[in-house]
Amino acid sequence: MAERMPRILLAKLGHGHKEALLNLAKRLGDAGFEIVYTELEDPQAIVGTAIQESVDHIGITVLEDGDIGPVEQIKNFLDDGEESHITIAVGGLIEREQLEELKGMGVDACFPRGTSFDELIRWAQENIASRGPTSLQGK
């Protein structure tokens, strides 16, 4: 069975301008990833969407007034649901001093403000692989 394109769920924490996130979604799509976008901010809802959509990775963007605390809940929900194979990256308006805290939560990669789209796409190409077939058996 052929492999499907890697699937990324893009989510956001906080409010504010999300144009950069939508631009990233387009650029990742152009680079060969299948993108699922959600505006849900509840950690359990984000994980539920990730599972329902069979994603390989969750990319979280922290916007203005966004709190990184829910990231730990997302990671815990994934681990508790035996979905620890889904990787997580966090970027956006995070401060350099928050990087160690995020890594301590089990985040696979952190991208503080100023990270270029090219860097994000390169990391995704090197670190996100599809874990699913293109079609389900029996359909």
- What is the rounded average pLDDT for all residues in the chain? 88
Q: In angstroms, what CA-CA distances link 92 with 21, 49, 133?
A: 9, 21, 31
d(CA 104, CA 10): 21
Is residue 55 domain-resident? Answer: yes
Is residue 130 domain-resident? Answer: no
pLDDT at 129: 86
pTM, two decimals, is 0.89
Band of pLDDT at residue 133, cut at 50, 70 and 90: low
pLDDT at 19: 86
Query: Which CATH number does the domain housing residue 84 bear?
Result: 3.40.50.280
Is residue 82 domain-resident? Answer: yes
Is residue 2 domain-resident? Answer: no
Q: Work out how many domains the chain is built from and give that number.
A: 1
pLDDT at 61: 92
Residues of the domain holding 21: 7-124
